[in-house]
Amino acid sequence: MIIVDDDLALRALQGDDTYWPAESPAIPWVLYSRLLLALQSPSDTGNLSRRASPALVRRALAPPESMLHVLDPRPYTRLATRLKIEYRLNMIVADLLGAAIHHRVPILVAEGNVGQHWPEICDLEQIELRIIAQDAEV
């Protein structure tokens, strides 16, 4: 398993496994809910919603386990809360990092989604952070 951000989760739902051919992508609940909101919002003109077809939205609402696993946050919510408080993170980032620590798996994110202090926090928390370059058209 590898934890992915919402941009890469969308790629997984489109059948693209370019960046994790041997790993199963998983998305934390908070990022999954943000992805669903972006895909279903009629007024959203962001990068995620621009790539949404009706078939993709249906797939996102009930993703096949073989394409994308949606993580249950309950086992790592306490951990995510600690990370949020200790590093002054928003809940999205805390959920992402908490999921990686709890499941002992790497995180794969699009370069544009990486916060300034993420690499330092990942080093401190012993999380493997993989970043997809911006020119990879995520």
Taking only the tens place, the pLDDT of each residue in 25-49 is 999 999 999 999 888 876 655 656 5
> What's the pTM value of the predicted model, to 2 decimals?
0.86
As a whole number of angstroms, the distance between CA 26 and CA 33 comes to: 13
Distance of alpha carbon 120 from alpha carbon 118, whole angstroms? 5
Give me the amino acid identity at 56: L
The fold for domain 2-136 equals Rossmann fold (3.40.50)
CA distance 138 to 135: 8
Domain boundaries in the chain?
2-136
Compute the C-alpha angle 2/49/118, nearest 5°.
40
